[in-house]
Structure 1
């Protein structure tokens, strides 16, 4: 294992951890020869043998190659069955190949997939999203990143302001403005790992800690902020939940200072059919949602209040509407729209969320039982159908506290240990997500394996 920064609460016995890691690597090598063969064949034409470099972060000496998936399981090229608790980091939250989505998508493929013209499904998909999230006017993209970029551009257009406000250690896809964090002196700087930033983030972005109302008001009072782009709970740095009254303050302060409030529900849709916006009665000016809504194909959307949609439309000239930096020729294509319609109406239903949430409750209880049994200084937090453990004794209040508890080597060991027992969790943190097809038996497999892993460290 490589040398990495170790948090103050990290696992102390690094020699033991290294020995455990070596055992798991050897098991991985022995059980996955066909994945190794395919990976070696791919390396001449794919950097690190993967189609996107972030895939190299999966634990183990090479990635696992998948042959097929259905529901909450997938099978790899070595014939091993896995319980998938990663689910494409929300992209497959509806489960793999959900029959209703597959049928609708297959039928549309046979009739054509992209026309640069609307289909009947567009209005149906928009109405379904409006019913769930409470904002009436929708546009469609291929990713939540695209949707966030579009809303940011509209916010700048209608306010005449330049800066975007985000939370420290936020995640909103690959939007340039969001790769900003606060240094020890409170200055806005590039987040570690940011690649090729076009300008210093301090020129485009203001950053405040999550749950810090005084800092929020100071940032908004400058009058420079076009939009505040937030997840209603942080999800990509461990789950950080809002304190009582925080969202009410966010809404009031954005209104007071003329800032457009954008809620990105791409991950927090785990809270229910309408995400935290619906569950907690939030009142954004715009909502972004992506990944899960297309049934497994690229699809995303952003919705606006009637007032914001009208302001945006009034600011645009028809002659120039296609060169304004919003949308691409594949956005709003017929295939994506039929996927959204089928997935929202037949797969990610309110009843499905009840089952998903129940499984997440079981998963959380299983993790907590092992933490308690062996006295591990960790905690576990749940957000609807999504749950995550972190290497600190108490839930984090903001992103900086969550980041300080990170331990990459420990995380890699736990992920590889799970993978070797046929369980996939999200590689970038310790998150498990439940699909409509996830069963109590699937959760039990993780509970047994997790207890074994914690025992190996603390027993």
Structure 2
């Protein structure tokens, strides 16, 4: 529990907010009871059980930056599908493209013209400047993309190990469910379910922002790839220190290891994510759910020499059984959604407005913290911002994890939910979409001020 708040007060406030939530959502409660008859945890995917309160809101409809639950309560959505709906709910251009393509066919295991257009648009965003990422493959999820990239890296380098950052997150990639114990040994991350092998066999773990640790990990000569976000996100936002990513690039090149930049969550930094915003030079870029406007799609892009090596080193006869692919990957519906979302929704102009709203949100939260005397901090990354329960930003994932406070987080999220505001359940993140307004942001600031007042009264 955070040293800045009284645990007994947190518990009492949580009980009151829980009672208020249940009273205001009888239809959602009834639907949750029905769902428990046939769905494990009462939800279609287990992590949906992590929302604060005894059951999650059940969505009736969603549009733009808002959704309405079964009880008719309209919410400002600051979660936006944990970036899956970063373009807003049901954006007109994406909906129209999906409707057109649905009438023409959903999938055929064959390319459509949209696929090449998506590849060209992704190259324009991520392959410009010093980056040369310009050859793309489409998948359904960023998890799939990361898995495929790691297989290719091991195949082409002949090496077995992958380096990840301590407390990273890359979907359900097995190699990424590893962390460091107090003695510095690689162990399974807390909560890891059914690991196929001990992670120390596949993975080396280093702290983010630690150049010496990365250098030591690469010195063994057995690393195929360094898989990382340019800024950690799912443990709270942890930004790179000046010069750190340049050092990562130099070290991986010297060691002959692939530098894989996972932009699934950091696309919030701009149209080309941190790769474009910070002029990075990765070997591979992974992008995920954001690019489909809510329709499942992801992609990985490679520099030309790696793409060429793959084409020459993977036998055509075995191209479908090598552990890379999926019959729905690159399907017509997903590629149509991605083309429309990238070219008509998540435009540079849209990002400018989204970033301005995120700055307004962060400024509002910081003002509340200052007024309330709460020694917490706010971190910004483009269209996204988060607050955390420590006076200064963390340097790496372990510091971010140590400052977390799950009961306090649940209270703050439930307090917001009761005032028609949805935050991401895994952290204190607010994400802006093109439809988010100043009024939406100010509504959060007002509610957050009320929560701070209740905690410090």
Fold shared by both chains (TM-score > 0.5): yes
CA distance in 2, matches of 1:10, 1:245: 33
1:81 maps to 2:74:
yes
The counterpart of 1:33, out of the listed 21, 26, 34, is 26
CA distance in 2, matches of 1:450, 1:427: 16
- Return the offset for 1:373: 0.6
> Is contact 1:10-1:391 (8 Å) kept?
no
- Return the offset for 1:63: 1.1
Q: What is the DSSP-based 3-state SS (H/G/I as helix, E as strand, rest coil) of the residue aligned with 1:421?
A: coil
CA distance in 1, matches of 2:3, 2:240: 25
> Is contact 1:11-1:410 (8 Å) kept?
no
Write the mapping of 1:39-50 to structure 2, written as runs, cut at 5 A.
Answer: 39-50=32-43
User: What's the TM-score once normalised by structure 2's chain length?
Assistant: 0.98
1:13 maps to 2:45:
no
Counterpart for residue 398 of structure 1: 396
Q: What is the DSSP-based 3-state SS (H/G/I as helix, E as strand, rest coil) of the residue aligned with 2:162?
A: strand
CA distance in 2, matches of 1:422, 1:243: 36
Write the mapping of 1:230-379 to structure 2, written as runs, cut at 5 A.
Answer: 230-379=228-377
- Return the offset for 1:12: 4.0
CA distance in 1, matches of 2:317, 2:8: 66
1:191 maps to 2:189:
yes
The counterpart of 1:107, out of the listed 100, 107, 114, is 100
- Return the offset for 1:11: 4.2
User: What's the TM-score once normalised by structure 1's chain length?
Assistant: 0.98
1:120 maps to 2:118:
no
Aligned-residue Cα RMSD (Å) equals: 0.7
Q: What is the DSSP-based 3-state SS (H/G/I as helix, E as strand, rest coil) of the residue aligned with 2:104?
A: coil
Count of residue pairs brought into register by the alignment: 452
Counterpart for residue 136 of structure 2: 138
The counterpart of 1:424, out of the listed 413, 422, 425, is 422
CA distance in 1, matches of 2:46, 2:234: 18
Residues 246-271 of structure 1 show CA distances to partners (whole Å, capped at 9, x for unaligned) of 01000000000000000000000000
- Return the offset for 1:117: 0.4
| Structure 1 residues 10 and 127, CA gap change in structure 2 (3 angstroms) | farther
- Return the offset for 1:458: 1.2
CA distance in 2, matches of 1:403, 1:274: 28
The counterpart of 1:454, out of the listed 432, 452, 455, is 452
> Is contact 2:261-2:282 (8 Å) kept?
yes
Q: What is the DSSP-based 3-state SS (H/G/I as helix, E as strand, rest coil) of the residue aligned with 1:75?
A: strand
> Is contact 1:67-1:75 (8 Å) kept?
yes
**Would you identify which runs of 4 or more consecutive aligned residues in structure 1 move more than 3 Å?**
9-12
CA distance in 1, matches of 2:219, 2:310: 23
Counterpart for residue 410 of structure 2: 412
Write the mapping of 1:199-210 to structure 2, written as runs, cut at 5 A.
Answer: 199-210=197-208
Counterpart for residue 45 of structure 2: 52
